Each structure stands twice: as C-alpha cells, then as structure tokens.
Amino acid sequence: MEANSSARPLAYKLVHSFALKLFLLAVILLSVPLILWWQFQRAEHQQAMLLHNAVDQTGRVIAAMLRPHFERFQDEAPGALSDALAGAALVNTKVKVLVRLKGAGPDDFIYIASAPPLPAAYLKQERRDLIQAGILQRMAPTCDRATDLSVRFVNPAGQQELLTSMTPVHANGNCWIVITSQNAADLAPAALHLSFWSIPTLPAAFAIYFASAALVILLSVHLWRNVARFRSAARKIRMRGGGAASFRELNTIPELTGVAEDFDGLVMALTSSQAFIKQTAEENSHALKAPLAVIAQSIEPLKRTLQPSDTVGHRAIQLIERSVEKLDAAVSSVRDLEQAAAEVVFPVRRRLDLTAFLTQMLRDYEVTLAAQGKRLAASLEKNVIAHANEDLLEPVIENLLENAASFTPKFGTIEVSLKRNAQWVDVSIADRGPGVDADRLPRIFNRYVTYRDEPDADGGNLPSTEHQGLGLWIVKRNVEGLGGKVQAKNRDGGGFEITVCLKADS
C-alpha cells in the first residue's frame, strides 16, 4: 500500500500545487493584454458602427434635401444647387455631388458641386486619383442602391479622407450621387482597425505583463532547482555514503538560508544522538561487565577452598555462576537493543534488492516451517529495488514470519508477496489464522501488547506467557525508521495480513 501522502487524490494535489499556481499566474499575466486588445476591438467596432450609421443617415438627409434641385437642375439658375448644397452641409462633413448623365458609361461621373466649395483643378485632380484607385468603378452600383463604402483615400491636399456614404438619386434619367466624406482624423481621432502592435498602449502593457510572467517563471524555476538540490542533499544524507552534503552550501535563495541551516542542525542532532546512544550503550555495557568479570574471577579461588562434602557451598557457587552468566547475557542484549535503537534514529539506507533478499530469507525459513508441518507460498516480483537496511529489515521479516507461523495451524500455509506499487514497495505476509478483533486491531503495534489464546490441539497458537508483545512493536519501529509504513488487516474469509511499505528506488 502507498503511504498516505501518495494516496491523496489528484484533485487535492492540483489544488495545493505551488508550481500549478505559478503557471496559472503566468497565463493570467500573459492573457490580460490580449483581453484588453479584444475589448478594444469590440469598442472600436461599436464606435465605427455608430459613426457609420450617423454619417449614412446624414448622407440620406442631404440627398433628400437636394432631390428637388436635381429634378429642376436644367431649369434652375447655375448657382442654385451650390447654394442649396452649402446650406445643407454639416460641420466637419464634406459633400460632393456627382452626376452620370443618361446614356453615359457606368463609371462616367462628373463633379457638379461641392461643399465647402473647391477649385475645379482640385476636383479634377481628385477625380483622376479616384479613377486610378478604382473608386469610381465601385460607384457604378450606387445608382441602384445606397452604398456604405467606408473607403480611405488621400485627397489632393495630402490629407486622409474617408468616403462615408454614397447615396444615389434618380432624376429625369440621370443618376445623381451625393457623396459624404470626412477627414479620417475628425471621424475617429483614434485610428480604427489597427492591429495589436499598432496600438501604442497595448504593446507597452504586453511588455510589462510579459516581464511579470517571465519573472514568475524564473522564480518558479529557481525555486524548483533549489528544492531539487535540497532533495539531492537529503538523499545523500539518507543514503550516507554518497559524499558529504550541506543544505546551506547547496542553497541559492537567501531567504531560505535559515531553513537550510535548521536542516543541517537537525541532521547534526540526529547523527550526534545516534553516536551518543551507541557510545552510552558501550560504556554502560563495559561498566556492568567489568564487575561481573571480577565476580566470575573471584569465584575460582572460592571453588578451590570448598570441601567436596560442602554441598551447600557448591550449590551457592553454581547459583552465582549462573546468575553472572545471565547478567552478562542481559547486558549484551541491552547493549544490542540500544545500538539497534540508535540505528533507527538515523539508519543507513542503501539500494537493496528485495527480491533476492526475501528469496534467501524465505529459503532458510522454509526448512523451519517444514519441520512444523507448515508450508510457505511466495509470490515475488523480479528486480524489486528499495531503499532499506538489511540489519533493520531482517528482524522485521523474521518477526512477521514467526508471528504468522504461530497462528497458522498444522498443514496450513503462510503467504508472502512482494510487488512494486508506484513509488512504493509492498511486502505482505498473511496467514489463515483466527485474525484480530476489530477493537484490538489499532493497538497490536504498541509495545508490550499481545493478544494470544492458549495453544489449540494442532499447535496453532502459543501460550501468551511466552510472548512479551515486542515483536510487532519492533517491526513498526524499524519500518518507520526506514521511512516506511506498516499496516494490518483481517483477511476476507479469515486470517490476518500485515503489509510493509518501503520507498522504492526511483
């Protein structure tokens, strides 16, 4: 089974992901100028539609006002149309009247009048420019319908002008066209239909936001590289043998200097505690063994002074010798236990081929089980590598096998499996014994806790007086010391299963 941190759902990881938040921030910063430009284009389009509708209506009103003059053009005085046109013109709006006489070519238009008044040479030059630009050819269809051209051109005075509307009027077989135009700058002080890069404020905003996004990305990369260096240092320290590593020396972010120093301090405290525990165990062992050695040596002269008939004296000497031997063994056991505890404080972890390790252990243990009339069934994936310590892992497997064997009846089977699960390695040992009551299950890994019944007829269980409740506690202590997890559950159909999770080699 995976550890809790790896078992969290993907949604939780995404919500709390620092890198994802930085990425979204960069996307937002880069998208703001594009959104502004899109809004600008929409506003520009709406503004243009309003302006074009206004000038188109203006052209239609002017054409309606001039229609009577078009119908009486041949009978009116020469200046009547010009006077009427001057009275109809609006501020900032230029009006020109062209006519295509009955029977003339489709694009054979003649300037008749303009407001404000323009010299004849100016109008001729403008007519030539319009012909060269192909605009007069586009005016031919206006004799059938009104046209909103919105065509830009440069007039003879060198100014940009926008033909805003061309309104046809049919009178006496002639096609009159009323053209309204305005200076482009007067119609739209801000240039219309410009690209993103042609709007001065948007490239500046984009540059600012792009710089902000680049800074966010640079910050993310810098932080990620620093965390990667921290992880590399932690791996070297954990593996112990890959060379010296210091978080402070690897840190490149000044604000994390204090954190790096604290990490180095924690590592130093762990190594110092481990060395202190080992040294204390050796010193205590030596301090206790020295008097025991003196007692053992002092017994020899006493034995020689005793008479063979002194049975009480010989019995006393034997009791003293046995007690000394037991005390010596107890001192050695305490020393070994303290040294094992020191290893758990800061264990040496290396790449361990669990497949080969378990294969060898199970081969040796299979002989013991066979003598008890029990069998072993193993399912081991090949080439499973984990970060572990043989000295700490061996008692874990031994305790689990012995625990399963003690609850397995004669001719029963103990099942062992090894498989890799994502970034973790799962070692499971299961039996078909009675299992554990649900209310007792949370406490089975506690120290000095044991739940055993008297042995049954086929030798499945052992008396509780022979167990002190340390086996599973040692399992949990060693596995957690290796950075792993241990879990237990009752099996479907009866039995019990304990699973050890260790970090896989990436």
Residue 305, C-beta contacts closer than 8 angstroms, at least 6 positions apart: none
Query: In Å, how far from its chain's centre is CA 389?
Result: 32
Q: Is the pLDDT of residue 322 over 60?
A: yes
Which pLDDT score is estimated for 114? 84
Q: Where are the alpha helices (DSSP H) in 109-200?
A: 120-133, 135-139, 184-187
Which pLDDT score is estimated for 164? 72
Token pair recorded at residue 3: 């550890």
Which pLDDT score is estimated for 426? 92
What residue segments make up the domains of the chain, in order of their start? 4-39+206-237, 54-196, 254-345, 350-503
Q: What is the pTM of this model?
A: 0.46
Regarding predicted confidence, which is higher, 177 or 453?
177
Q: Is 175 exposed, middle or buried (0-12, 13-18, 19+ CB in 10 A)?
A: buried
Spell 24-59 as b/e; 16+ CB within 10 A means b.
Answer: ebbeebbebbeebbeebbeebeeeeeebbeebbebb
What are the tens digits of pLDDT across the range 53-110? Answer: 777 777 788 888 888 888 888 888 877 888 887 776 566 778 888 888 887 777 777 8
Q: Is the pLDDT of residue 213 over 90?
A: no
What are the tens digits of pLDDT across the range 247-286? Answer: 888 888 787 788 888 888 887 877 777 777 777 778 788 7
Domain 350-503 bears CATH identifier 3.30.565.10: yes
pLDDT category at 190 given cuts 50, 70, 90 is very low
Cβ contact 349:387 at 8 Å? yes
| Topology, domain 54-196 | Beta-Lactamase (3.30.450)
3-state DSSP call for residue 285?
helix
Taking Cα atoms as reference points, which of 64, 265, 268 lies closest to residue 165? 64
Q: Is 319 exposed, middle or buried (0-12, 13-18, 19+ CB in 10 A)?
A: exposed
Q: Is the pLDDT of residue 138 over 70?
A: no
pLDDT category at 429 given cuts 50, 70, 90 is very high
Distance of alpha carbon 42 from alpha carbon 48, whole angstroms: 10
